[in-house]
Amino acid sequence: MLYCTGAASYIAISLKKGGRPIEIIVYHPETPEKQAELEKSVAKFHAQYVLQYLEKLNCPTEQKLTLADAIAKTILDGEKTEAGI
């Protein structure tokens, strides 16, 4: 269930089958500058999460670096595709 009203959204979701819904209210940025700031923060969080995940993998450092390079290339290729390059 999702309701949007102006700068906020109300979301009710169930995390497990038959479970009780969790109610969440999300407030959206009010200006393009704040939206850009939020996007930057989310991107930073995702990058930190991926790095932490890679660090925990039980494989040689060289393999982790190769995987990190492949992830970066995939992201950059996706950005080029979206930009029509």
Tens digits of pLDDT across the chain (85 residues) = 545 555 666 666 666 666 676 777 777 788 889 888 988 998 899 999 999 999 999 999 999 999 999 999 998 888 777 777 6
Whether 5 and 35 map to the same domain: the answer is: no
| CB contact at 8 A, 8 and 27 | yes
Which segments of the chain are extended strands (E)?
Answer: 2-5, 8-13, 22-27
Whether 48 and 26 map to the same domain: the answer is: no
The Cα–Cα gap between 44 and 73 comes to: 17
Give the range of the structural domain holding residue 58, as residue numbers without chain letter.
Answer: 31-85
Whether 24 and 51 map to the same domain: the answer is: no
Whether 42 and 57 map to the same domain: the answer is: yes
| CB contact at 8 A, 53 and 37 | no
Whether 25 and 44 map to the same domain: the answer is: no
Whether 79 and 69 map to the same domain: the answer is: yes
| CB contact at 8 A, 8 and 26 | yes
Whether 47 and 84 map to the same domain: the answer is: yes
Query: What's the structural domain count of the chain?
Result: 2
